[in-house]
Amino acid sequence: MSSVRRENSLSKPSTRSRSRRPSSSNQAADAPRLPAEFLKSAASFSQCPPETGPEIAFAGRSNAGKSSVLNRLTGSRRTAKVSKQPGRTQLLNFFDVPGTTGRLVDLPGYGFAKAGKSAQAAWQKTVNDYLNKRDALAGIVLVMDIRHPLQPFDIELIEWADPSELPMRILLNKADKLKRGAQSKVLQQVRNVIAGAELTSVQVFSASSGQGVAELVSTLISWLGEPAE
């Protein structure tokens, strides 16, 4: 494809084993939220904290609402605030999920208009290293603005996740901006794209209204494979 694809290349699907994925799915479907506590930021793969348990990475284009999704999911406006602090936006930010050994990992939003080429290359390498090498990675939440779905990097991540045997949940965020019929149309469009990708699923979501949060929490708890408190 374009140079974007080469620059962003996620390269090899890893050889991670299916057996590493948590398999439990016996958690309450109506869990309202997934609390999280900031642990640390990492500027490079080598700075990532030692693995303790399954990690769920959050990816998305800047402004798709990734921070708002994290805040809604964790029930705290402070969660993603840390990721928004100047200097932290291009880092990997790790959050512990209390009561589990699992973590949420906020990846840098892609598509910074203001980031220079060298800065972009640096965070792309960090993100690629994390996605390709982190054994603890148990799943990816890909946040899209429902009005602008399936941007090039979204597609690239989607095409990489399933062959890498990584579960992915796509969130069509800002659903409150569209009427129900228009929401369904985009949902179907994305379903068509992910048809055949066994481990990839999609749902509508609104960080503003909370639409879809129970469904998301239920999925993420099953990925973590442990109860959240």
Q: What's the min distance (Å) between Cβ of 174 and ligand GDP?
A: 4
Name the closest residue to ligand GDP (Cβ). 65
With respect to ligand GDP, which residue has the nearer C-beta, 74 or 164? 74
Of 102 and 212, nearer to ligand GDP (C-beta) is 212
| Residue 145 beta carbon to ligand GDP: minimum distance, rounded to whole angstroms | 8
Applying CB under 6 A, the residues found at the interface with ligand GDP are 60, 62-68, 109, 173-174, 176-177, 206-208
196 Rama sector, left if φ>0, alpha if ψ -120 to 50, beta otherwise: left
Integer CA distances (angstroms), 88 to 41, 108, 167, 186, 204, in order: 7, 8, 26, 32, 28
CB of 63 to ligand GDP, least distance (A): 5
Pick the closer one to ligand GDP by CB: 62 or 101. 62
Q: Which pairing describes strands 168-173 and 137-145: parallel, antiparallel, or unpaired? A: parallel
Nearer to ligand GDP, 42 or 82 (CB): 82
Residues 6+ away with beta carbon under 8 Å from 26: none
Nearest approach in angstroms of CB 173 to ligand GDP is 5
Helix axes 152-161, 180-194, angle to 10 degrees: 50
Read off the DSSP letter of residue 71: H
